[in-house]
Amino acid sequence: MTVASRPLARRRPRSERVIETLLLLAASGGVLTTIGIVVVLLIEAVQFFALVNPILFLTGTVWSASILPFQFGVIPLVVSTLEVALIALLVAVPLGLLSAVYLAEYATNRTRNLVKPVLETIAGVPTIVLGFFALNFITPELLKPLLPTIGTFNILSAGLVVGLLVTPLVGSLSEDALRAVPRDLREGAFAMGATRFEVVRKVVVPAALSGIMASIILATSRAVGETMAVVLAAGFNPKLTIDPRDQGGTMAAFIAQITSGDTPQDSLQFKSLFAVALVLFAITLILNLISNRIVARYRNRYG
């Protein structure tokens, strides 16, 4: 009588299963935290929208949450937020991409090991320090001589300082994407007689486009949610304006203003911050979804 042979199941070590369980718990913790934030925002926002028409909230052009008559039109906050983010990107994208190309393609290992930590140190500077830097240097020393009519608090200086803040994010992630491009592509282009700049422009950058675009979208999300630097540099005057020389009121600045004051928790003004936070969360979520879509659409697979 023959016994049918069965393949022996490979038993994983207990330590590996423990590590897998810990990793699953860590991932679940992030998901549950996000779900909890969304639930709290929705519950509080529903209470606010029971008192304020959501259509008027989303389409209104006047925001007056502290002065009678109260008006809750979120458009001025959204416009100022996007204006700061746009100015920040105009600063961060060129500086970040140029620094990424230099570090990935031109710099020696010694230079890269020296410059990259210095670049990333900017991201670790407290944002309130950058806010004071904008208030005491950028506006009076740089902008005032060029724009004499600019105010002490203005959207332009806020966008510039936020741009400096997110430049390391664009530069670091873009450099990682550029260095991930296989060296064979570079050598093939060199073998065909291309110059180094042509290789970077026509081979390396297109191959790393998904990572570069993802870094720009993530930097945009970071700029949209910036708080203290914007509060100090732009002040808080929530009026609908596209003039960067004016004061502005961003969504994050309004949330900081309400939470740091003595507004009663059961007041309409306090409940409005959850509605604003929900809009801010939605904008950030949309940007992250766009980032994931771009990465999936333009990702190059090698091998």
User: What CATH number is associated with residue 172?
Assistant: 1.10.3720.10
Asked if the structure places residue 179 within a domain, the reply is: yes
Position 299 scores a pLDDT of: 67
Round to whole Å and give the CA distance between 45 and 278: 7
Position 13 scores a pLDDT of: 79
Measured in residues, the chain has a length of 303
Contacts of 138 (CB under 8 A, 6+ apart): 157, 160, 161, 233
Which stretches of the chain drop beneath a pLDDT of 70? 1-11, 261, 298-303
Asked if the structure places residue 30 within a domain, the reply is: no
Total structural domains within the chain:
1
Position 1 scores a pLDDT of: 46
Q: How many CB atoms lie within 10 A of CB 137?
A: 13
| 164 within 8 A of 222, measured Cβ to Cβ | no
Asked if the structure places residue 191 within a domain, the reply is: yes
Q: Sign of dihedral through CA atoms 275, 276, 280, 281?
A: negative
| 77 within 8 A of 249, measured Cβ to Cβ | yes
Asked if the structure places residue 103 within a domain, the reply is: yes
Q: How far is CA 258 from CA 66, 138, 223, 230, in A?
A: 10, 27, 20, 15
Q: Which domain holds residue 128?
A: 73-263+280-298
Scan for tokens 């006047």, then name that residue: 62
Round to whole Å and give the CA distance between 298 and 48: 41
